[in-house]
Amino acid sequence: MGKKVTVVGAGFYGSTTAQRLAEYDIFETVVLTDIIEGKPQGIALDLGQSRAIEGFETKIVGVSTGPNGEGYEAIADSDVVVITAGLPRKPGMSRMDLLGVNAKIVRQVSQNIAKYAPDAVIIVVSNPLDEMTALTQIATGFPKQRVIGQAGVLDTARFTTFVADALGVPVRSVKTMTLGSHGETMVPVPSQCTVDGKPLAELMSAEKIDELVTRTRNGGAEIVGLLKTGSAYYAPSAAAARMAKAVAEDAGEVMPVCTWVSGEYGCSGVYLGVQAEIGAEGVRRVVETPLTAAESAALREAAEAVRSKQADVFDL
Ligand code: APR
């Protein structure tokens, strides 16, 4: 049977994710859902009509859903479900300002996914990311490795772009790493960053690296400030779609993701941004890399910062 992926939420993030997934041409079906009547159907029709031009065959289905599971039959047998439902930030808001409102949306979406696509791997992108990922696992009751959050692929892509632009080198020459949370306690890991294999610290001053790290940490807010009416979605959707592809292809690719840690880096019992090997069952294993003492300490601090918020998230 061909692969099936569902994208919940047909806003900017969801519709661009659906487009990227469809254009990979590796899925038999992409299902796009939203609570708004007509929006997912319209986007699905439009996207489907691009097939003859772009040359892909993926079938795209748009479905409206209700709070009590109405419409959710369409997601049955999905191999992967990407949750993008929820409000985006407005200028001046932090991701945490979305906690209450998005928790209600994500909890209800998760309960319906558990009922209608009980074997899916879920990729969460709704913000605040670390909390919404933890909530999705609690609300679905899925094994922890089957619920993954998207943050690190995007954060590293931003960091990589800033480094490449600053040095005037192709983005493909640059490897960066960010761990921790998708927010204040994001932990960029300069010791693991290289340009054509050379340590970043040999090519850039510590001050310049710090400046790019700060810009990375505020990468989302910078775009929200410019757009004024929503948040970023081109790079975010590229990140989520790549993760869904790694699951669908059982790729074993190592990516920075938000996953459950059990002792890695001295952190346990919390959803945290770390590198992990991604396959058909979600996270196969967390991949640890050597960190400097300062980077390790920052990662443990990030774990503590998200732990308390994740603990209360189901009751919001
Ligand atoms: N089920 C399905 N879709 C829903 C639900 C629900 N219960 N509740 C809201 N939605 C839909 C909205 O109708 C809207 O179409 O989610 C969509 C959100 O789209 P946008 O407002 O365009 O937001 P977007 O930029 O796509 O961001 C979505 O991703 O990056 C995060 O912070 C961002 O939490 C936000 C999410």
Q: What is the pLDDT of residues 101-160, one digit of tens each?
A: 999 999 999 999 999 999 999 999 999 999 999 999 999 999 999 999 999 999 999 999
The answer to whether residues 47 and 110 belong to one domain is: yes
- Residues annotated as part of the active site: 182
The answer to whether residues 310 and 196 belong to one domain is: yes
pLDDT at residue 171 tops 80: yes
- Predicted local distance difference test score (pLDDT) of residue 26: 98
What whole-number distance in Å separates Cα of residue 145 and Cα of residue 118?
14
Residue of 20, 34, 110 to mutate, ligand 1, most atoms within 8 A of C-beta: 34
The answer to whether residues 102 and 203 belong to one domain is: no
The stretch 243-253 carries a mean pLDDT of: 98
Question: What residues are in contact with ligand 1 under a 6 Å CB criterion?
Answer: 8-14, 33-36, 65, 84-89, 98, 102, 105, 108-109, 125-127, 230-231, 233, 236
Whether the link from the prior residue into 256 is cis, omega within 30° of 0, is no
The answer to whether residues 208 and 77 belong to one domain is: no
User: In terms of residue numbers, what domain contains 168?
Assistant: 152-315
Residue nearest to atom 18 of ligand 1 (CA): 11
More confident residue, 57 or 67: 57
Between the CA of 153 and the centroid of ligand 1 the distance, in Å, is: 20
Instruction: Supply the pTM of this predicted model.
Output: 0.97
Closest atom of ligand 1 to 8 CA is 2
- Predicted local distance difference test score (pLDDT) of residue 143: 98
Residue of 12, 43, 116 to mutate, ligand 1, most atoms within 8 A of C-beta: 12
Closest atom of ligand 1 to 126 CA is 34
Domain count, the chain: 2
- Predicted local distance difference test score (pLDDT) of residue 228: 94
- Predicted local distance difference test score (pLDDT) of residue 184: 84
The answer to whether residues 157 and 225 belong to one domain is: yes
Percent of the chain scoring above 70 in pLDDT: 100
| Type of residue at 188 | P
Between the CA of 225 and the centroid of ligand 1 the distance, in Å, is: 18
Between the CA of 34 and the centroid of ligand 1 the distance, in Å, is: 8
| Mean pLDDT, the chain, integer | 96
**Phi, psi (5° rounding) for residue 178?**
-130, 140
- Predicted local distance difference test score (pLDDT) of residue 308: 82
**Of 127, 149, 171, the domain-final residue:** 149
pLDDT at residue 218 tops 80: yes
Between the CA of 56 and the centroid of ligand 1 the distance, in Å, is: 26
The stretch 253-261 carries a mean pLDDT of: 98
The answer to whether residues 133 and 174 belong to one domain is: no
The answer to whether residues 72 and 201 belong to one domain is: no
The stretch 216-236 carries a mean pLDDT of: 96
Task: Name the nearest CA neighbour of 35 among 98, 91, 94, 112.
Answer: 112
